């Protein structure tokens, strides 16, 4: 301000003063009490709009430390994105133990019932870059950092209980194969291309995971509706040092839910942030997503009797063999204040583990144990990354590690070593500290794979044969889609050949879908697939909950729509736990009661695929008009094609006709709100074969 007042009255200076004056007024209109803007050194800034110049039209001066600091910081705003799992979203929450595991472990987080442990959870896709879309066909990362009283425990898992490979040394090849091809720089966030399937066709151990990745688990509707798995076997250690193996599972309270493929593809265009936004909206509205933590516990002797090796990360333990026990719950109840500081900088590491839990010899886990620290160094740029608030333990921590880039702690005293005798408060080892299980391993050195890892097809078959008919059709169709994008014939043939080991019918469906003349030969198998009893726990449709909780209903209205019907549907959907949104051709709309309402979405920008079920309430005139509007026709025809419930009134019929909407149990009269809610809770699977050619 002072500078402005003292500006000389030469013509250009007066013009500068005028422009600044306008800016000041706008700021004042914005209101509020604002703290002074300062540089990073705390120096108050008088002008954040004009750099320091030698005269109004002269050169900018090097002396302008305000400008230089601001631009220097901006130039360094990006840090390397994660090489895998770059696209992600996270939230704060807590874990509450409901059942003590004190027989098996000393870990306080698993023995103190009722205790709430704060945590930070990050969900991610694997293949795409940080700016890619939320809904590709991909595995979802499910990483939880528990800030326990005994240090941080990171459970860094996925939404699928098995993995592609059996040995860490293969991971860079797998990821290079799935990422965009290096010569052309595409496709982004997609496995449907030659290099991925070339690698898979030559990696039989990936077959089981491929079954999961081609299932609807890889196209989830919401991150609130996915399961999570620690994948590897871990150990629990009790006070006597006895070890029990454990597999960790997360089970969503809202049940599982997926999209249909066509919907996932369209969502990518309509809302690239669909899942991130969904999580944000749920948490900020107070609808906190919740998961149960389940464990499968088994002894070394029990493990020896399994018909597979539990150390092989391409194998799961059927729940029919080792039942799941629910021991706690996780609630995500706080959105981060800042995406970069928290979600981008959170640094997970499977080696972060607390006393009472220990690793197994799973060779993939063993490789992961050193990989993540390496990544954090290159991403976060300093060995002090653990001091970033989202990474710092919430229990006291102290040692003699010192200095390094970006040290933010100021340790006191002269002792930075151990043993020492000069300082009473210097940190010491403790008898209750972390101990490893005293495992005796047979140690002949060599690059060898256990014989017990050789069966690559039995569990792939188990998974496929455990699915419902619609899910099997989706898997076959997903394989046809993916392989149809592969340009090299021998790669397509090699994959179909592998599928013959899983299920002859599946291989035939895929071959037919690709228009192959006959079935390609199956490659030799190290171990032939065995038939196992189907495991319904592996289904997704079987795990959908009969609920509208956490779902969204969209109601398409126009001026003149019957207000009473709209209100009745809103009331019923909200009572059933759904959130309800109005969509209209314009954001302002006047219903039959004459009241003006603000719609939540404008029709052209709010397609039906962002909803779980829709209603269309129109007066006769609007029905006729919208029957000629492409966005309105797409709204109903997509809802029909995506197997959703549609409620409609008499006025909406011309539009439904224009959208080729047929008749079945999911198409209901809007006057019957109860029937709509029942239909909206599920997808109309029986409709699908009538409208889509599935493999
Ligand atoms: Fe990861 N993985 N991974 N991974 N992983 C990373 O760590 C790696 C594996 C998983 O939200 C990276 O901080 C190797 C299996 C998740 O920040 C990196 C191997 C599973 C996340 C890394 C694996 C996972 C990562 C990249 C083979 C399921 C995201 C950035 C031995 C159990 C965590 C980072 C987040 C992230 C390496 C295999 C899950 C490069 C070498 C198996 C959920 O360190």
CB-ligand 1 contact for 364 (6 Å cutoff)? yes
Confidence of residue 441 (pLDDT cuts 50, 70, 90): confident
CB-ligand 1 contact for 168 (6 Å cutoff)? yes
Average pLDDT, the chain: 94
The total number of structural domains in the chain stands at 4
List pLDDT tens digits, range 577-605: 999 999 999 999 999 999 999 999 999 99
Atom of ligand 1 nearest to the CA of 230: 32
Confidence of residue 459 (pLDDT cuts 50, 70, 90): very high
**Co-location of 241 and 219 in the same domain:** yes
- Mutate which of 250, 348, 368 for ligand 1 pocket (most atoms within 8 A of beta carbon): 368
List pLDDT tens digits, range 549-571: 999 999 999 999 999 999 999 99
End-of-domain residue from the set 358, 387, 416:
387
Whether 350 has a pLDDT exceeding 80, the answer reads yes
Percentages (nearest 5) of helix, strand, coil residues in the chain: 35, 15, 50
CB-ligand 1 contact for 348 (6 Å cutoff)? yes
Spatial distance between the Cα atoms of 152 and 288, rounded to a whole number of angstroms: 23
Query: Is the link from the previous residue into 291 a cis peptide, with omega within 30 of 0?
Result: no
- Within 10 angstroms of residue 280's Cβ, the number of other Cβ atoms is 15
List pLDDT tens digits, range 42-68: 999 999 999 999 999 999 999 999 999
List pLDDT tens digits, range 358-406: 999 999 999 999 899 999 999 999 999 999 999 999 999 999 999 999 9
Centre of ligand 1 to C-alpha 581, Å, is 37
Atom of ligand 1 nearest to the CA of 163: 42
CB-ligand 1 contact for 144 (6 Å cutoff)? no
pLDDT at 440: 83
pLDDT at 180: 97
42 in a domain, yes or no? Answer: yes
Centre of ligand 1 to C-alpha 623, Å, is 52
pLDDT at 32: 74
Centre of ligand 1 to C-alpha 270, Å, is 29
Centre of ligand 1 to C-alpha 246, Å, is 20
**Co-location of 487 and 610 in the same domain:** no
List pLDDT tens digits, range 197-216: 999 999 999 999 999 999 99
184 in a domain, yes or no? Answer: yes
List pLDDT tens digits, range 270-285: 999 999 999 999 999 9
**Co-location of 462 and 533 in the same domain:** yes
**Co-location of 531 and 605 in the same domain:** no
The CATH number linked to 524 is 1.20.1370.20
**Co-location of 477 and 372 in the same domain:** no
- Within 10 angstroms of residue 292's Cβ, the number of other Cβ atoms is 16
Centre of ligand 1 to C-alpha 464, Å, is 26
**Co-location of 502 and 589 in the same domain:** no
Confidence of residue 470 (pLDDT cuts 50, 70, 90): very high
* Residue 62 structural domain: 2-28+37-75
528 in a domain, yes or no? Answer: yes
560 in a domain, yes or no? Answer: yes
User: What single string gives the DSSP state of each residue in 96-164?
Assistant: EE-S--TTT---GGGTSTT-EEEEEEEEEESSS-TTS-S-SS--EEEEEEEEETTEEEEEEEESSSS-S
The CATH number linked to 11 is 4.10.91.20
End-of-domain residue from the set 542, 577, 606:
542
Spatial distance between the Cα atoms of 95 and 109, rounded to a whole number of angstroms: 9
End-of-domain residue from the set 366, 387, 408:
387
Strand partners, 124: 88, 141
Which protein residue has the closest C-alpha to ligand 1 atom 6?
A: 84
**Co-location of 16 and 111 in the same domain:** no
* Active site residue ranges: 85, 158
List pLDDT tens digits, range 521-548: 999 999 999 999 999 999 999 889 999 9
CB-ligand 1 contact for 371 (6 Å cutoff)? yes
316 in a domain, yes or no? Answer: yes
**Co-location of 498 and 369 in the same domain:** no
403 in a domain, yes or no? Answer: no
Centre of ligand 1 to C-alpha 450, Å, is 24
pLDDT at 542: 86
Whether 177 has a pLDDT exceeding 70, the answer reads yes
Atom of ligand 1 nearest to the CA of 168: 31
445 in a domain, yes or no? Answer: no
Whether 431 has a pLDDT exceeding 50, the answer reads yes
Whether 18 has a pLDDT exceeding 70, the answer reads no
13 in a domain, yes or no? Answer: yes
pLDDT at 30: 60
**Co-location of 673 and 616 in the same domain:** yes
Do 595 and 567 form a contact (C-beta atoms < 8 A)?
Answer: no
The angle formed by the CA atoms of residues 553, 556 and 557, to the nearest 5 degrees, is 135
Spatial distance between the Cα atoms of 422 and 493, rounded to a whole number of angstroms: 72
Which protein residue has the closest C-alpha to ligand 1 atom 23?
A: 368
CB-ligand 1 contact for 366 (6 Å cutoff)? no
**Co-location of 55 and 159 in the same domain:** no
Task: Report pTM.
Answer: 0.94
CB-ligand 1 contact for 160 (6 Å cutoff)? no
């Amino acid at each position: 301000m002072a500078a402005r007042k003292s500006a000389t009255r030469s013509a250009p200076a007066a013009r500068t003063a005028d422009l600044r004056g306008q800016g000041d007024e706008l700021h004042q209109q914005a209101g509020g009490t604002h703290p002074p803007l300062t540089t990073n050194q705390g120096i108050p800034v008088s002008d954040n709009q004009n750099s320091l110049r030698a005269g109004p039209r002269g050169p900018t001066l090097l002396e302008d430390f305000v400008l230089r600091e601001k631009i220097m910081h901006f130039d360094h705003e990006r840090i390397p994105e994660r090489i895998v799992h770059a696209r992600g979203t996270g939230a704060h929450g807590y874990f509450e133990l409901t059942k003590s595991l004190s027989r098996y472990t000393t870990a306080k987080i698993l023995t103190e019932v009722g205790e709430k442990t704060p945590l930070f959870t990050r969900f991610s896709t694997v293949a795409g870059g940080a700016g890619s879309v939320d809904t590709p066909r991909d595995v979802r990362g499910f990483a939880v950092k528990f800030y326990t009283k005994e240090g941080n425990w990171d459970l860094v898992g996925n939404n699928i209980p098995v993995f592609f490979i059996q040995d860490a040394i293969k991971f860079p090849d797998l990821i290079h194969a799935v990422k965009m091809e290096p010569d052309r720089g595409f496709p982004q966030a997609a496995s449907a291309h030659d290099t991925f399937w070339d690698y898979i066709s030559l990696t039989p151990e990936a077959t089981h995971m491929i079954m999961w990745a081609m299932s609807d688990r890889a196209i989830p509707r919401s991150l609130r509706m996915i399961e999570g798995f620690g994948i590897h076997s871990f150990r629990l250690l009790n006070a006597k040092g006895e070890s029990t193996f454990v597999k960790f599972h997360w089970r969503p309270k809202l049940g599982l839910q997926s999209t249909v493929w066509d919907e996932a593809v369209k969502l990518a265009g309509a809302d690239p942030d669909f899942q991130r936004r969904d999580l944000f909206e749920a948490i900020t509205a107070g609808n906190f997503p919740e998961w149960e933590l389940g464990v499968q516990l088994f002894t070394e002797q029990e493990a020896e009797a399994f018909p597979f090796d539990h150390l092989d990360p391409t194998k799961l333990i059927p729940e029919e063999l080792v039942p799941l026990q629910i021991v706690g719950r996780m609630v995500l109840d706080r959105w981060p204040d800042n995406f970069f500081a928290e979600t981008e900088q959170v640094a997970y590491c499977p080696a972060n583990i607390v006393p009472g839990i220990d690793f197994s010899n799973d060779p993939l886990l063993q490789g992961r144990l050193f990989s993540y620290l390496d990544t954090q160094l290159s991403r976060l740029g300093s060995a002090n990354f653990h001091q970033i608030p989202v990474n710092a333990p919430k229990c006291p921590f102290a040692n003699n590690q010192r200095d390094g880039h970006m040290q933010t702690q100021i340790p006191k005293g002269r002792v930075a070593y151990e043993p020492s005798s000069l300082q009473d408060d210097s940190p010491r080892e403790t008898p209750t500290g972390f101990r490893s299980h005293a495992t005796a391993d047979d140690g002949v050195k060599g690059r060898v794979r256990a014989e017990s890892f050789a069966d690559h097809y039995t569990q792939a078959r188990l998974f496929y044969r455990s699915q419902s008919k619609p899910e099997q059709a989706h898997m076959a169709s997903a394989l046809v889609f993916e392989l149809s994008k592969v340009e090299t014939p021998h790669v397509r043939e090699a994959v179909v050949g592998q599928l013959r080991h899983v299920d002859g019918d599946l291989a035939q469906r895929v071959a037919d879908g690709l228009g192959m003349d006959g079935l390609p030969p199956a490659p030799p198998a190290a171990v032939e697939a065995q038939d196992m009893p189907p495991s319904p726990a592996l289904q997704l449709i079987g795990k959908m909950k009969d609920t509208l909780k956490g779902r969204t209903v969209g109601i398409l209205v126009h001026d003149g729509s019957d207000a009473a019907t709209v209100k009745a549907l809103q009331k019923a959907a909200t009572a059933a736990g759904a959130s309800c949104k109005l969509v209209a051709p314009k954001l302002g709309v006047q219903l039959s009661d004459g009241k003006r309402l603000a719609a939540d979405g404008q029709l052209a920008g709010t397609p039906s695929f962002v909803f779980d079920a829709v209603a269309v309430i129109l007066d006769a005139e609007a029905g006729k008009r919208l029957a000629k509007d492409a966005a309105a026709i797409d709204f109903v025809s997509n809802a029909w094609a995506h197997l959703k419930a549609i409620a409609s009134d008499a006025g909406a019929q011309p539009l439904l006709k224009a959208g080729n909407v047929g008749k079945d149990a999911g198409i209901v009269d809007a006057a019957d709100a109860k029937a709509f809610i029942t239909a909206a809770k599920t997808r109309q699977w029986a409709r699908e074969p009538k409208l889509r050619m599935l493999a």
